Amino acid sequence: MPASSLDQLVSLCKRRGFIFPGSAIYGGLANTWDYGPLGVELKNRVKREWWKAFVFKRQDMVGLDSSILMNPKVWEASGHVGSFSDLMSTCKYCKRLIRMDHWDELMNASPWFHSLQNLYSRKKSVSLEDLGLWGQKEGKKLAPNLAVVRNPSVTLSWLSEFLEKAEQVAPDAPIKSSMRELVKYLASEQLGMTGLRLPCPYCGGELTDPKPFNLLFKTYQGVLEGEGTEIYLRPETAQGIFVNFKNVLDTMRMRLPFGVAQVGKAFRNEITPGNFTFRTREFEQMEIEYFVKPGNEASAFEGWKEEVWNWFIALGVDPSRLRMREHTKEELAFYSSRTMDIEYQFPWGWGELFGLANRGDYDLQQHEIFSGQDLKYTDPDDPTKKFLPYVVEPSFGCDRSVLTFLIEAYTEETLPNGESRTVMKFDKRLAPYDLAILPLSKKEHLIAKAQELYKKIVQETDLVCDFDVTGSIGKRYRRQDEIGTPRAVTVDFGTLGEDEKQGTKDTVTIRDRDSLKQERLPISELLGKLK
Ligand code: ATP
């Protein structure tokens, strides 16, 4: 899906009841989204498929639903209170907050940086004069707060030093090496005093020194605000699993290796939320903590990697838009020996959909220290052997998965008759409705017959049915296409035996969303076919 189509998807989601902007009647609350009647069905189905695959269809997995509010010591033990932070800078001019680990990405999308790159690809060598001119023309429009625009003479004098010693500036390199150095010079008005500064990707202004910003959401428990009552909204569901490790072990007679799965809300005071539901401050996760004997974590890691990849593919994600990305040594959390993300090619670029981490025994060890409780596992074959299991953590974003399925489903196509349509080609297991029942017209006895069929289907099967009488049949088909209903059953005059054609009594037409094939079949066979 091209970036431009994202707007169309957002608009379809709103128009058809998948996802609404939050608190809209009060002017909204930035970056909050509400799942509408169809969105909640889609999301529930994603969760159901996940639970089916990773809990019901495996003997080594059980579920859990722990609290969002937990004893604050949990977050001291997990390290979130001390270090759950991103490095942040503020633009001194436009006051935007910039998450510094996103700076490269923001620069690569920055119009003024593109314009600068163009200058370098147009010319064989770029002189000081060229840069000055660029500053007074494009720069002035696109990056009004860049030092070379506001104070060209001083900035260019610093720059001459740089150009003298610079290696060739590579224009098409992403914001790296020489290009990265160059923009620092263009942004540093008082280089002698402040040293080199990074520019704001939006307006070119100077960024402040990065400071850590804690992402934990604080709230208060009880009636008194203040010391002792401050608690946190959980930033991940994982810790609920660790603190219940012993409970699960004692009640469920689990033997290693085994895992615990949980789906639930998490909260992070994200600095740069955005891209629809991709990054929000309140979101849902689907997480697994998988406990293994120390030494078996590497093979468990490989196993999960494959399972998760296949889960996305089986539900219709095109593998050419998925990739695995191993974290580099610098990116790894100190307790993790290996982390890998599955990234999806979102309309704005690659983004993390899922993370798999090898967490060792870090979490259980921390909880032992902070709680003073023994969380060790006793080897059932040799009770003298007690140890903390190692943990492999497959962690899914639920909202990001839903967004991925929405993007994958969104299709604009031209039909053989030249008409165009928008159709959400969800996997049948994910579509909000399994079936639509459509009486051909608003004639009362047609509606009655269709209602009778609707009741029969919902009573005798688990299919979720829509019943729609509003508008022409063409319009209703178009709506069903846009909400991704795989099949539509039309009840017409033939069904009532009122057609000139003989032998159509008690038959209906069933239309396939993707092939558009229509088939006439007796109601008596319909149920069997649908089941
Ligand atoms: P990012 O680098 O995008 O901030 P992360 O590495 O911090 O993500 P994890 O802590 O690994 O994310 O969380 C597991 C999963 O939860 C992610 O793969 C993602 O799908 C989802 N997730 C994390 N933060 C958000 C958010 N703010 N909004 C929506 N989903 C999120």
Q: What is the CATH number of the domain that holds 245?
A: 3.30.930.10
Question: How many angstroms is it from 388 CA to the middle of ligand 1?
Answer: 27
Query: Does 38 reside within a domain?
Result: no
Report d(CA 204, CA 137) in Å as an integer.
14
**DSSP code for 91:** B
Q: Is 80 in the pocket of ligand 1 (CB under 6 A)?
A: no
155 and 230 belong to one structural domain:
no
CB 274 within 8 A of CB 216: no
- Ligand 1 centroid vs 397 CA: distance in angstroms? 6
The residue-averaged pLDDT of 393-422 equals 95
pLDDT of residue 174: 41
Ligand 1 atom, smallest distance to 287 CA: 14
| Alpha carbon separation from 516 to 265, 315, 425, 466, 480 (Å, rounded) | 39, 21, 12, 18, 12
Decide if 10 is inside a domain: no
pLDDT at res. 225: 62
Could you tell me if 306 and 360 lie in one domain? yes
The pLDDT score that the predictor gives to residue 59 is: 95
Dump pLDDT digits (tens) for 104-154. 889 988 999 999 989 888 887 788 888 899 999 999 999 999 999 998 888
Based on the fold, state whether residues 145 and 188 are members of the same structural domain: yes
- The average confidence (pLDDT) of the chain is 91
Q: In which band, very low, low, confident or very high, does the pLDDT at 329 lie, cut at 50, 70 and 90?
A: confident
Closest-CA residue to 214 (of 102, 85, 337)? 85
Task: Say how far apart CA 318 and CA 353 lie, in whole Å.
Answer: 14
Domain stop point among 175, 190, 211: 211
Distance 157 CA to ligand 1 centre (A): 44
Task: Look at 355 and 102; give whichever has higher pLDDT.
Answer: 355
Write out the H or E segment, with its range, that includes residue 115.
helix 111-122
Specify if 14 maps to a domain.
no
* Same-domain pairing of 186 and 204: yes
Predicted local confidence at residue 293, as pLDDT: 96
Tell me the chain's radius of gyration from C-alpha atoms.
29
Q: Assess whether 497 and 465 both reside in one domain.
A: yes
Same domain for 310 and 353: yes
Is 94 inside a domain boundary?
A: yes
Cα dihedral value 336, 338, 341, 342, nearest 10: -140
Count of structural domains, the chain? 3
Same-domain status, 80 and 91? no
Point out the domain boundary residue: 211, 228, 257: 211
Can you give the length of the chain in residues? 531
Claim to verify: residue 76 and residue 121 sit in the same structural domain = no
- pLDDT at residue 173, rounded to an integer: 44
Ligand 1 nearest-atom number relative to CA 395: 14
Q: Flag whether 78 is in a domain.
A: yes
Would the CB of 366 count as within 6 Å of ligand 1? no
CATH of the domain at 473: 3.40.50.800
Range of the domain at 276: 53-84+219-407
Answer with the one of 373, 407, 441 that is the final residue of a domain: 407
Query: Is there a single domain that holds both residue 244 and residue 392?
Result: yes
Please tell me whether residues 251 and 130 are part of one structural domain: no
Q: How far apart are CA 153 and CA 163, in angstroms?
A: 15
DSSP assignment of 398-454 equals: HHHHHHHHHHHHEEEEE-TTS-EEEEE---TTT-S-SEEEEESS--HHHHHHHHHHH
Judgement on whether residues 250 and 186 belong to the same structural domain of the protein: no
CA–CA gap between residue 155 and residue 495 (Å, rounded): 81
Between residues 525 and 84, which one has the greater pLDDT? Answer: 525
Say yes or no: 253 and 380 in one domain. yes
Q: Is 237 in the pocket of ligand 1 (CB under 6 A)?
A: no
Q: Please report whether residue 202 resides in a domain.
A: yes
At residue 353, the pLDDT reads: 97
Residue 125 is predicted with a pLDDT of 78
Strand stretches in 189-234, DSSP E: 211-214, 217-220, 230-233
Do residues 120 and 131 lie in contact, with contact meaning Cβ atoms separated by under 8 Å? Answer: no
From start to end of 30-113, where are the E strands? Answer: 33-35, 61-64, 85-90, 97-99
Taking residues 490-499, report their average pLDDT: 88
Q: Give me the pLDDT at residue 224, please.
A: 67
184 vs 148: CA distance, rounded Å: 10
Ligand 1 center to residue 304 CA distance, Å? 18
Are 7 and 13 within 8 A, CB to CB? no
Q: What is the pLDDT of residues 67-113, one digit of tens each?
A: 999 999 999 999 888 777 788 898 988 888 898 888 988 998 899 99
Residue 170's identity, in one-letter code, is A
Does 354 reside within a domain?
yes
Q: Tokens standing for 201? A: 């990707």
Q: Residue 1 falls within a domain, yes or no?
A: no
Measure the CA–CA gap between 361 and 395, rounded to whole angstroms: 17
